[in-house]
A and B are shown apart, each in its own frame.
Chain A
Amino acid sequence: MTSHEPIEAEPGATAASPDKGPAQPTPGVDQYHVDPSLPAAGVEERHDQAERQPKHRAPAPEEGKRSFGRTFREELWANNNFTVTLLAIVLALICGGVLMVIGNAEVRDQWQYLLYQPGKTIGDTWAFVSTAYTDMFKGAVVNPDTVNRWYWNMTTWQQVFYPISETLTNAAPLIFTGLAVAVPFRAGLFNIGGQGQAIMGAIGGGTVGLALSLPAIVQVPLGVLAGALLGGLWGYLVGILKARTGAHEVILTIMLNNIAFLFLGWFILQQGIKDPARSDAISKPIQESGRLPQLIPDPLLRANLAIVLAVLAAAGVAWLLKRGRFGFELRAVGHNPHAAATAGIKVGTTVALTMALAGALAGLGGTSVALGTAPALTVDMLGQIGFNGILVALLGRVRPWGVVGAGLLFGALQAGGNAMQTFSGVSVELVGVIQALIVLFVAAPALVKAIYRLRRSPAAAAQAGLAKG
């Protein structure tokens, strides 16, 4: 339910133009333009609605008589964002279960005897898949066994909170990189450069963290600032090139990702950065005074200040987009750059600053890894957080609080995936597949709707009716 409320609470962009037809390409948009008002395939949804309009009675007149309970019940199995997201997750988990079975030799072989022992085959399969997913849940949220053992004083309370701590640790960088995609999306820009911006942020924050020896109260903020600054500059470069020359930001950011990656590879080998005691490509360890403080000082619970900063950043972005002057200009440019320019908004400046803001957010994501969990700078320290940030932003429907929810979900999947690999022997790579599938299904609500035979959302219908009337 948490992800439901913010979506409803912020009508902002999406509700603004329900009658905009799908087949009217905005003049002058380039081929990588994203329609900022419609994360993923809202277009299709509406198009579909328009087609189906005659089959349904317009429910708008009844609106007053309907009780809350009935509305709730009807909304629950209807084509709204919350239900679609939930069902997309279910669908992705089912697909993941199928893949688990295909990937496990014993269970796979059992299916040869489906006709002889149908009960055993189905039972084994169910046991295998449900155990794996249970392990995932235990590794991501809470393990009832640990709670039980703690109740009987057989283990420490830290063990009980370990899964949650892992989830929060994994979620923090994803929320940052997710915001770095969500903000430019609202301005009509698709930022694929989260990875490169995060790398630059990690370089900035990491360098401060390993090279200086100041009191923690100075060094930590300095590192965070350096990360945001370097990431922001990397993003600003995209913005200024886009604004000045009209180059596709998609291509620019892909290239800058690779450049940043190569630069990191060179940087960690330089004198003063490289660990002289090691022969492999790794920097000196981050100093203790440069590390983000842990929320609970305990070696087991890794969750650190990064998750707090991430939520604060989301709150800041939410405020900016809704109330801030710059946020208004950003959304105006996203809706219609020509109209925005006519209204006196400096489109180029807005684009450049939006990308700088996005870069700073992604840079914070990189910094949160460098100063939070990574022992030192290495080439693959960030994994794929930039690209996963794109998925997080899309799942969060490019809204700040949606991104927080999606980041927590992905963080939980990652933490749970590690547990699943340890206890059930199912490779953690499955998590990537499940994440991609969730976003794919969320991006095509028409598909989910068709699979589950969802009703049309009464609220959306009412809105459409109002807009038409």
Chain B
Amino acid sequence: MTTSTMDVELAVPEAYWTRARKTGAVMIVLGLLATILFGALASSENARFALGENVSGAGFDIPGTAGAILFGLVALAAGAALLVTGKHFGVLTGVALMGFIISALCWQMSVSPVSHIMPLGFIAAATFTAAIPLIFGSLGGVLCERSGVVNVAIEGQLLTGAFFGALFGTLTGSFWLGLLAAAIGGALLSAILAVFAIKYLVDQVVVGIVLNVFAGGLTAFFYEQVMRPDTDAYNFPGKVPSWPIPGLVDIPIIGPALFNGNIFSYGSLIAVAVITIALFRTRWGLRTRAVGEHPAAADTVGIRVLGLRYANVLIAGLVAGFGGAYFSMLSTTGFSKYMVSGAGFIALAAMIFGRWHPVGAFFASLFFGFFGALTGFLTSISSPIPSQFLSMLPYVATIFAVAGLVGRVRAPAADGKPYVKG
């Protein structure tokens, strides 16, 4: 609402202090912090980065103090370059952040009383595993919102998928049918969203929020009434099998993450590729984007706006529901109530952070997954940094993103606006 009023103020041309330069200044501060503070706090012990999935095996050592200072300087230099040139925003920001994180790691690992070794392969695998449900959820969001329907119900779709996967996976005794049921479950919840948002023109954020409560209550109710009294008959879907790709698994660092996967990890990569191509290279994708940006214009050239929106919302439900099965069929065996616990909202953040683009959403999900993995690792080496604050980082980053401090994000123009012909 008030955006446009304030856009006027914001739109005053900034002669020198562009977004890149401001970020550069922030990165310089971070770099200084890393160089001086982390350098001073780190000990002379080596921080060892092992390439494999466990702490033994090949790796490289970085002396704690030297590493903290060196990578702090890297962050400083990248920030300075960004400030001076104001160009290469993405690359330089990435390098600066990377330097800052490695500097912090050198400090933390060198002073850790438990272990000085970080298994990179394990971190990579944990990152990707944590990101899988976020990838599916944010793809569901992208599909919905690109066609102009706000999807706040990702949480509910994931939860319904988890429930359906566990229930029908157990009843049929086949994880394939369980996965199919999970996708259909997500689509069923999506169908309610579609009917209320598109046919009855109810505010889409309102429907999404209400559907989250609805899905949470419904699955919890049937969990208590049906699943809990008889777990073996209704809530024992078994784990999906792991399909390592021989040879590729042994690639250092990324091998265990990418090629020791299962249907969810391979599926998420395929889904990102397929949805990216479909959205930007096919007739359907062009129409979807047209409907999301300017439905009246799309209608004028004969595109069925409402039909396309229905279809997209349902497909989004299929994708998110499939991803929801991750919770009940991979990360644990069996459904438990409210097990998604906020992942849907992080997926929503990942979608916005990824600027409503499938590939962006994929990397944003990995970014959030990385902080999850890092939190786990630092807790395991009994770091003095409270794990809660590390877990907050993705949310803080998202606030910075939507507040325009790290570059402005823009939603599809007709996102959230019901279309009425006339």
Residues of A in contact with B (beta carbons under 8 Å apart): 22-23, 25-35, 40-41, 43-44, 47, 99, 102-105, 188-190, 192, 241-248, 250-252, 254-259, 262-263, 265-266, 333-334, 337-338, 341, 347-348, 351, 384, 387-388, 390-391, 394, 426-427, 429-437, 439-440, 443-444, 446-447
Contacts and interface: CB of A to CB of B under 8 A. Distances in A.
Given A241-B399, A387-B212, 16 more contacts: A23-B421, A29-B4, A31-B411, A44-B201, A44-B202, A102-B222, A251-B348, A251-B399, A255-B395, A255-B399, A258-B342, A429-B337, A432-B217, A433-B218, A440-B192, A446-B200
Contact of A432 (B203, B216, B391, B396): B216
4 A-B pairs closest in CB distance: A432-B217, A28-B4, A103-B225, A31-B416
A436 B210 contact: yes
Interface in B98-147: 145
Contacts of B207: 440, 443
B217 A348 contact: no
Interface stretch (B5-13, B174-182, B281-289, B358-366): B5-13
Given A28-B3, A41-B200, A394 B398 contact: no
Interface in B335-360: 337, 342, 345-346, 348-349, 352
A22 B420 contact: yes
A446 B222 CA distance: 29
Contact of A433 (B2, B221, B415): B221
Nearest to B396: A259
Given A246-B6, A255-B398, A437-B214, A104 B203 contact: no
Given A256-B399, A338-B5, A387 B206 contact: no
A23 B206 contact: no
A246 B2 contact: yes
B244 interface: no
B61 interface: no
9 contacts: A22-B418, A29-B1, A31-B416, A32-B416, A192-B209, A251-B348, A257-B345, A429-B217, A432-B221
B352 A251 contact: yes
B214 A254 contact: no
B196 A440 contact: yes
Given A32-B150, A103-B226, A245 B4 contact: no
A433 B225 CA distance: 14
Nearest to A190: B205
B389 interface: yes
Contacts of A432: 213-214, 216-217, 220-221
Contacts of A430: 217, 221
Nearest to B399: A255
Contact of B196 (A251, A265, A443): A443
B203 A34 contact: yes
Contacts of A245: 6, 10, 402-405
Contacts of B346: 258
Contacts of A338: 4-5
SS class, residues of chain B in contact with chain A: helix
Contacts of B225: 103-104, 426-427
Nearest to B415: A31
Nearest to B149: A31
B94 interface: no
B392 interface: yes
A440 B2 contact: no
A105 B222 CA distance: 11
B22 interface: no
A162 B257 CA distance: 57
Contact of B392 (A29, A252, A259): A259
B345 A247 contact: no
B321 interface: no
A242 B352 CA distance: 16
A256 B394 CA distance: 11
Contacts of A104: 225
Most chain A CB within 10 A, of B196, B206, B342, B414, is at B206
Contacts of A429: 217, 220-221, 223-224, 337
Contact of B404 (A22, A102, A247, A447): A247
A21 to B, nearest CB: 8
Interface in B380-422: 386, 388-389, 391-392, 395-396, 398-399, 402-405, 411-412, 414-422
Nearest to A269: B386
A30 B7 CA distance: 12
A247 B210 contact: no
B211 A33 contact: no
A433 B419 CA distance: 29
B152 interface: yes
Given A254-B345, A254-B349, A427 B224 contact: yes
Nearest to A351: B2
A390 B404 contact: no
B4 A391 contact: no
A391 B213 contact: yes
Nearest to B215: A436
Given A266-B386, A266-B389, A444-B202, A427 B417 contact: no
A436 B211 CA distance: 7
Given A40-B203, A429-B224, A189 B1 contact: yes
A103 B213 contact: no
